[in-house]
Every structure is written in structure tokens, then in C-alpha cells.
């Protein structure tokens, strides 16, 4: 089972990583002013982990939020965002060299996030 790890940032804020069973980081959050707000972000990832996938690299039709968006970054790598119902990005991926690996990252969020425990490393 995966886990969410909440960490302090250098500017006295907080962020979280979703980490898979193999200890690889699947997705990362934005920064939050408090641990409680980071936990709200985690709850949003858990609640929206079953969202549909919009592939912006294939000119797919826009989907309503919540959704995962696959896109290319400035270096041409594939990334995904998980967007909550309000359109806010609640989790973001690393850069992947292939779309297939990016899709595997989304599948990992879908399988790990809903039951992941929350750990605080502050």
C-alpha cells in the first residue's frame, strides 16, 4: 500500500508526496500554509483518484474536473496533473520519457491513493 508523506518546506510551509510501495514518488503537491491544509489536499487526491484522463498530447476533447491531464512539459517530457472538482491542481507528476510510463503513473495514483496512510516527516 502506498503512503502520503507530509514534509516541511524551506519557507516554513508544507507539502506532500504520494509514495508507492516500491518507495518511488508518484505525485507531489503544491505547498500549503499548514499541515491541516496539506491533509485537506491529501483528502482531495484520495477523493479524486478515480478521475477520468484527458490527454492533451493527443488533442483529446476537454473533460470536466475532476480529471487527470497528460501534457508535455517544456523539455518534451510527459507529465500529469490531478485536478480537483474546483479546477485546482492537487497533485503533479515527475517528467516521464514516454506517454506509456506517464499513464502507468496515473494508474499508480489510482491504485495507491485511496487507501494510502498519511505520515508526517516534519
CATH number at 43 reads 2.30.29.80
Of the listed ranges 79-83, 89-93, 118-122, the least confidently predicted one is 118-122
Summarised one tens digit per residue, pLDDT across range 15-73 is 999 999 999 999 999 999 999 999 999 999 999 999 999 999 998 889 999 999 999 99
Q: Which helix H or strand E contains 17, and what residues bound it?
A: strand 14-19
Summarised one tens digit per residue, pLDDT across range 66-85 is 999 999 999 999 999 999 99
Q: Distance between CA 2 and CA 118 in Å, rounded?
A: 9
Domain count along the chain: 1
What domain range includes position 16?
Answer: 3-120
Q: Distance between CA 65 and CA 62 in Å, rounded?
A: 9
Amino acid at each position: 500500500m502506498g503512503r502520503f508523506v507530509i514534509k516541511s518546506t524551506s519557507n516554513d510551509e508544507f507539502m506532500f508526496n504520494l509514495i508507492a510501495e516500491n518507495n518511488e514518488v508518484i505525485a507531489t503537491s503544491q505547498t500549503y500554509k499548514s499541515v491541516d491544509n496539506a491533509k485537506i489536499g491529501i483528502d482531495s487526491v484520495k477523493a479524486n483518484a478515480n478521475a477520468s484522463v484527458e490527454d492533451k498530447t493527443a488533442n483529446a476533447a476537454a473533460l470536466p474536473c475532476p480529471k487527470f491531464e497528460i501534457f508535455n512539459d517544456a523539455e518534451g517530457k510527459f507529465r500529469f496533473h490531478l485536478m480537483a472538482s474546483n479546477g485546482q491542481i492537487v497533485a503533479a507528476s515527475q517528467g516521464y520519457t514516454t506517454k506509456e510510463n506517464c499513464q502507468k503513473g496515473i494508474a499508480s495514483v489510482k491504485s495507491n491513493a485511496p487507501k494510502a496512510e498519511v505520515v508526517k516527516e516534519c
